[in-house]
């Protein structure tokens, strides 16, 4: 009797231990699925780098929910949203400013001849320079009629808005040919009433890009000094307007005295001035006579005369109030 009672007692003890173990296991198993903390809040870990090069401990920023269960943005989120809104407003103000004060069209006129050495290289170099200028810009290239497709191919690949004009006249004098091509470009501007600032961009020129920003302020005429370099003469000649505060009081030209007016006009550095294109197609505004308007061959001479005679109306292109060379004529 005694041995059987002891065996039954041990069996009951093991059953109780087994039942207790199973209950604890089940409770622990389901407790692991229960959510921790307040279900009405969510945490966002935020880390920020320290100046010493390592990361901070993650900081939890709570987003509290209101009575309807809608999450309220935290202070950090509100600050970030305000910064984004401020940047967007600044960008919109900048775009609005550009719309109210649009940039003027820069019209660059380039004559070219088949006899120019390294013409393809110089055209590509000038095209790469003009491509760096802020838009809008129009490149007018004039060449003598030929069967070559060199110039059109270069212009198409330049990535610049351009006009290609063909001159059908034959000249034995290179200077006369260049003069005729410039007048053809001016006649094209006048005929199509292109509105912008015109300057003559020669193949042999090297430019400081600041010039193209400064001529945006030109209302009628603008002028600047040009440095002329020569590969065979070890010297530099500066030609252009003479200093007189912000006004033009004279010109530095090749010679101190000239016999005829044509010599004076030919001595004006073609790369040293710019003008408003409306002078070509708005005679009432500029007092241009009908004789000159009906003779495109005289357009260039007329512009030069206006630049020389109306010195008080010519804007000096200066940097920080000083005369600086922005164009180099390399005589290539």
35-89 residue pLDDT tens: 555 544 444 444 444 444 444 445 444 445 455 455 455 565 667 667 777 776 7
| 148 token code pair | 């070559």
CA–CA gap between residue 296 and residue 182 (Å, rounded): 10
The per-residue pLDDT for 54 is 44
| 209 token code pair | 């890009």
Give me the residues of the chain with pLDDT under 70, please: 1-11, 32-78, 80-81, 88, 91-100, 231-233, 242-267, 287-297, 310-312, 321, 332
Give the residues across from 228 on adjacent strands.
Answer: 237, 329
Distance of CA 64 to CAs 82, 192, 232, Å? 20, 66, 81
**Which of 273, 231, 233 minimizes the C-alpha distance to 252?**
273
CA–CA gap between residue 53 and residue 51 (Å, rounded): 5
Give the residues across from 240 on adjacent strands.
Answer: 252
The per-residue pLDDT for 303 is 85
Residue 71: CB partners within 8 Å, gap ≥ 6? Answer: 42, 63, 64, 65
Give the residues across from 221 on adjacent strands.
Answer: 275, 314
Mean pLDDT across the chain: 76
Q: Per residue in 255-264, pLDDT tens?
A: 555 545 566 6
Distance of CA 13 to CAs 7, 10, 20, 22, 27, Å? 10, 5, 11, 14, 21
**Which of 193, 188, 163 minimizes the C-alpha distance to 279?**
193
CA–CA gap between residue 70 and residue 81 (Å, rounded): 18
Distance of CA 114 to CAs 122, 144, 152, Å? 12, 7, 13
The per-residue pLDDT for 207 is 94
Any idea which residue has 């820069």 for tokens? Answer: 106
CA–CA gap between residue 44 and residue 250 (Å, rounded): 72
Q: Label each residue of the chain as H, E or C.
A: CHHHHHHHHHHHHHHHHHHHHHHHHHHHHHHCCCCCCCCCEEEEEECCECCCCCECCCEEEEEEECCCCCECCCHHHHHHHHHHHHHHHHHHHHHHHHHHCCCCCEEEEEEECCCCCCHHHHHHHHHHHHHCCCCCEEEEEEEECCCCCHHHHHHHHCCCCEEEEEECCCCCCHHHHHHHHHHHHHHHHHHCCCCCEEEECCCCEEECCHHHHHHHHCCCEEECCEEEECCCCCCEEEEEECCECECCCCEECCCCCCCCHHHHHHHCCCCCEEEECHHHHCHHHHCCCHHHHCCHHHHHHHHHHHHHHCHHHEEECCECCECCCCEEECCC
């Amino acid at each position: 009797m005694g041995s059987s009672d002891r065996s039954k007692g041990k069996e009951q003890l093991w059953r109780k231990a087994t039942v207790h173990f199973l209950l604890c296991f089940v409770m622990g198993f389901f407790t692991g699925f229960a959510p921790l903390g307040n279900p009405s809040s969510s945490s966002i870990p935020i880390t920020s780098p320290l100046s010493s090069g390592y990361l901070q401990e993650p900081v939890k920023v709570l987003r509290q929910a209101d009575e309807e269960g809608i999450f309220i943005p935290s202070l950090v989120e509100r600050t970030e949203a305000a910064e984004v809104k401020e940047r967007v407003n600044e960008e919109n103000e900048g775009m609005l400013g550009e719309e109210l004060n649009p940039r003027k069209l820069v019209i660059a006129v380039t004559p070219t001849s088949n006899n120019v050495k390294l013409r393809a290289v110089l055209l590509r170099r000038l095209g790469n320079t003009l491509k760096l200028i802020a838009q809008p810009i129009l490149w007018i290239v004039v060449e003598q009629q030929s069967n070559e497709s060199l110039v059109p191919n270069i212009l198409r690949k330049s990535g610049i808005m351009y006009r290609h004009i063909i001159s059908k006249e034959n000249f034995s004098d290179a200077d006369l040919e260049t003069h005729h091509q410039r007048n053809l470009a001016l006649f094209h501007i006048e005929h199509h009433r292109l509105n912008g600032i015109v300057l003559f961009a020669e193949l042999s020129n090297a430019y400081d890009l600041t010039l193209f920003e400064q001529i945006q302020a030109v209302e009628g005429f603008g002028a600047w000094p040009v440095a002329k370099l020569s590969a065979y003469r070890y010297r530099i000649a500066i030609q252009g307007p003479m200093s007189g505060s912000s006004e033009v009081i004279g010109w530095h030209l090749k010679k101190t005295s000239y016999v005829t007016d044509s010599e004076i006009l030919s001595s004006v550095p073609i790369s040293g001035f710019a003008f408003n294109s409306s002078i070509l197609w708005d005679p009432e505004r500029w007092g241009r006579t009908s004789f000159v308007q009906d003779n495109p061959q005289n357009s260039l001479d007329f512009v030069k005369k206006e630049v020389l005679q109306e010195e008080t109306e010519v804007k000096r292109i200066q940097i920080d109030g000083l005369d600086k060379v922005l164009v180099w004529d390399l005589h290539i």
